Each structure stands twice: as C-alpha cells, then as structure tokens.
Amino acid sequence: MKTEKTIFAILLFIFFSCSSLLAGEANLQKIYPVDSWEFEAVSHLYIEEGMPRPSSSGPWSGAELALMLSRLDTESLSYEQKKVYRNIYESLKEDSEISAERTYKLDLAADLTAEAYYHSNTDDFTEDQDWAYDYKARKPLLNLPFQSWATEKFYGYFEFTLRNGRFYPATKSSEGYFQPDFSTNLIFDDNFLNLDLTFPYRGFVSAGGDHWNLQFGRDDLRWGNGVTGNLMLNNHLDYHDFLKFTTFHDNFKFTTLAASFPHPSWGDLPFQSSQKDPAEGFQAFITHRLEFQLFDSLNIAVSEAMMFMGYTFDFRFLNPAMIYHDYYMRANSNSILGLDVDFPVTESLNGYASIVIDEFALPGEPTDSDNARPGAHGYIAGLRFAKTLPLGMLHLNLEGAYTDPYLYLRDAPATGDEYSPYPIDFIVERRQFTYDSKVMSDQNFLGYEYGGDAVVIDLQAGLSSFENWEITGELMYMLHGTHNLDTEWQEGSDAASAVSPTSESLDDPAKDAVEKTLLLEIAGSYNFLENASVFGQLNWISIQNINNVKANGDASDLQAALGLSYSF
C-alpha cells in the first residue's frame, strides 16, 4: 500500500507540473449547476486549507471553477486532497476538450431512473410541501440532456424530461401524486397522460472567456452558503428564467442578473380553463452582486435587488451600476439588500453569515403609530467543518436562521388603477400545464424557502467519495409563526412590534399557535457500476399545531424514497 501511494504521489507531481486547463484548445463555458459535486469539492478543499470559501453565487462556468481550483496551493495538499483535486480537474478537462480541427462538439445522453415512495400518514401529509423528498427532489423517469460546445466561447444545454406532473389528476392540489401511501415515478396508471410538459427545467446558452460569462435561459440560482436555504436567491424553485452576466477574478467577482416571473394578475385565475386567459403586465427581479476578499481571510458579498412590477419596462433598470432603491418608485418596485460573509475560523473549520433587509425604519419614520411599518429582516449564521479522510470527504454543518414575520411581504401600491390590487412582494409563481389543458400555479417565496416568521436550527453531517458513494444525515427543528404566503402586509404598532415566531395573526383569527416541526433524515447513494447507481432517503417528520391552529393537534409521518438510475 505504501508503494502504491508513493507511485501515485509521483504521478500527481508530474500531473500538477505539466497540466493546465487552459493549455491547447478548450471550451470552459459549460455551466455547472448549483448542486454540482465539483463546486462542493472545491469548497471543501478551501475550508480544509483555512481559506474563505470561493464565490457562493451559482451556477458557475467551467472557467470560474478552473480559476477557483488554480488558487489552491497543490504542494500543501495531503495525499487524499490531491486525489480529490485531480478528480475535479479531470472532470473539468473532460467537459472542456475540443480540437483545433473540429471546433464544434455535441454530446447526447440518456438517464433512466425508477423511483418508489412510501409514507405512513395519508391523512395529514397529502401535498408536495408535506414531503421532505418533494417534487423538486424527485427525478424524472427519463432525462435526455443535450450539450453542445462551439469554438472556445459558446456552450448550450437543453434537457427533455418525461415525468409525472405535480398536479394530477388535474385538480387544484397535488394530492393525486403525494397522498397515496405508495407511489412511483413510473407513468403506468390511469393517469398516463398526466405528464409534466413544463420542460426544460434547464435550458440555456452560455458565452464567455477566461474571466467572464453570459448566461441566458432557464436554470437554478443560488446566492449564499446556507444549507437550509438562502435569503436573497435560493434553488428551491422549480427553475428561474434569467439573463446573467458575471466577471470573476482572483479576489473579485461582479454579477448582474434579471429574472422574469409571471405577473400576479395571472394568479387571479389559479386554475385556468384555457391557456388563452390573458395576464396583464409582468414581474421582474433585477439584482447585482459584488463579491470581494479582504486580508486573505474574509469574503464579503453585497447584493442589492428590486422586484419590479408593471406594464412597460424601461431599459435603464438594467443599469448594473445603479442603486435600485434610488429610483424612488414605490408604486412599481420593492427593494431589498443583502450581505454575506464567509471566513475561516481555523483549518478545516469555516464560519459564514448572511443578512437581508427588506424593510426598515429610517430616522424620523413612525415606529409606534398607526402608520408604522414593520421591519423585515432575515439572518443566517453557521459553522462548517470539512476533512478529507482516506475513506472520503467528511463534513459537519451547524446552522441557525431567523426571519422577521413580514419578511418578503408588502402592500399593494395605492395608485387607484387596475394594477393596484397586486402587492409588490417577493412571492413568485411557476406555471405547470396539466393533461386536460389547464394551467396550475405554484407559489413560493423567492428567497428563504420557509419565508418569514421562522426560527430554524439545523445540524447536518455527511461522508462522500463524490465519485462512488455518499451518506448524509440531518436533524432540523423549526418554529414557524402565523405569517405565510397568504398573509396580508400590515401597518401599525402591533405589526411593527411583532417578533418571530408569532402565535397570532392580525389578518387570520383562526391561527392561534406556533407550528413546530422536527425533521430527521438519513440518505445515501452508491454507484455500483460506472453508469448505474442506487439511492435512497428515509425521513421522520413530526409537526405540532398543524397550520398554526392548536385545535388541529399534532401529526407525524415516516417517509421513504428508493431509486435506481442508469445513464448511457
């Protein structure tokens, strides 16, 4: 064994001395998703080396990941760390290779996945949001990804998926798929035609160079290192439609982004009879983010954004150097500000924190009158431990989160036209077509998945080889108050003094208790062949005061998911 390690160490020395991702012909514009193992592995190595983690605003291009990798001092890495480094390098290199003779490359693949789901409580856990392994986590029966590389600058991605629709049979709920005690992702029942026709969930074009990238299309977005979610942008939505430009360097990154969502007037028709029913206006989330490093030990990211809503769009709103709040157009926009920090505590131990400010009282504004506006802030803080062992990469994560009751909520503009009934908040909609030609709307908070009025503490642990197997565990406890997606924004001293978690609602007298949720999870995966893997997840969820109503009592559910996947 010692001889094998010596030989491997010599080979690694030659590899690091002679190789470069930018040598020869290469296209590094492939976009790596926010849950890519390559980024997780790079972040893991940064923590071990006592460095602040690299940019937390994903997705990332291959060029940006290659730059992150190049900042690691390979001479200081242990034998096990060098193996991980090489695996990341080889993955990026394989995805970037083109030749001078053939400047275009097309890759076609297919992923077949069979999944089965079981849960014990079919009375209280009946919807998508009641499952830990929810619709976003469930895999399609068939996924056909198409990738293309053109010269050194362009990359395109599209995926065709065959999967069950969330809302089936075609009703206003997701009970058809999530209530039965046993179900699968196989489409072999009376609702065979109930397919999800919203694909692609990932489909975009990418162009860039060694230090910049432009991405346009549909993909997941995530800004921040939170494990229970992030405050400005999070990847719990089915997808985001956006245009994003980013430029990245050793100690500096700038991103400007515009994401589009259906106008909330469409939500007035939550179960449309036809695609022909019109929706007036549009909704856009416009933001920019500046990330930089101080003293080689502190990463800081400052984000500013606005949710814009209206009938017409002015190109000046895309100005990446503008302060959006200073347009002063409350009737059409809602501004939000975020700050993220990441720093090493010591080698293998990392600390991080985030804050978002949606609403706050300026000096001179009323705080104890009928016109007082409630503050709306969110906070996340955590510690992450990482260590590469001969068996695999070990990580431990402890995180806490607090969100104010009225975070992400706001009133409608008092403008007196037909536009005014729609609050300019940070609640967004995703549409899904059903087999009987109806269109459903799935509403979510754009930022933190659990929204405002929440107190969360979470402990996670995992051990992974990334290439072959992984096992993870989680313990989460959440106190959630009475404010949710349906809460109306309020003014007044009672609203301004509300503290999370609330036990009573100003607009819904039926809510009289804090909902308490305890989640336990163990999950794992194993690649038993080069292109085949088996994976599973087991959860136990206990909820007290269901839907914030004490009379609803308590309930618990044992949930299990098991899957087999093959790629070719």
pLDDT tens for residues 438-489?
777 788 999 999 999 999 999 999 999 877 899 999 999 999 999 999 898 8
Eight-class DSSP state of 326: G
Q: How confident is the model at residue 269 (pLDDT cuts 50, 70, 90)?
A: low
- The SS3 call for residue 277 is coil
Specify the DSSP element, H or E, that contains 253: strand 252-261
Which tokens is 26 given? 């290469």
Scored b (16 or more CB within 10 A) or e, 336-347 reads: bbbebbbbbeee
Residue 359 identity? E
Average pLDDT of the chain to the nearest whole number? 88
Q: Which of 18-22, 39-43, 92-96, 375-379 has the lowest mean pLDDT?
A: 18-22
Section 508-536 average pLDDT? 95
Cα 561–chain centre separation? 21
Are 424 and 412 within 8 A, CB to CB? yes
Specify the DSSP element, H or E, that contains 349: strand 349-359
Q: Return the percentage of the chain with pLDDT > 70, whole number.
A: 88
Q: How confident is the model at residue 191 (pLDDT cuts 50, 70, 90)?
A: low
Separation between Cα atoms, residue 349 and residue 47, nearest integer Å: 6
pLDDT per residue over 308-319, tens digit each? Answer: 987 777 788 888
**Which residue, 261, 157, 260, is CA-closest to 207?**
157
pLDDT score of 18: 44
Q: Return the percentage of the chain with pLDDT > 90, whole number.
A: 65
pTM of the entire structure?
A: 0.91
In the beta sheet, which residues pair with residue 378? 356, 403
Cβ-based burial of 404 (10 A; exposed 0-12, middle 13-18, buried ≥19): buried
pLDDT per residue over 391-432, tens digit each? Answer: 999 999 999 999 999 999 988 776 555 555 788 899 998 888
pLDDT score of 81: 93
Section 12-28 average pLDDT? 58
pLDDT score of 119: 97
Q: Which of 342-351, 369-378, 426-435 reaches the highest mean pLDDT?
A: 342-351
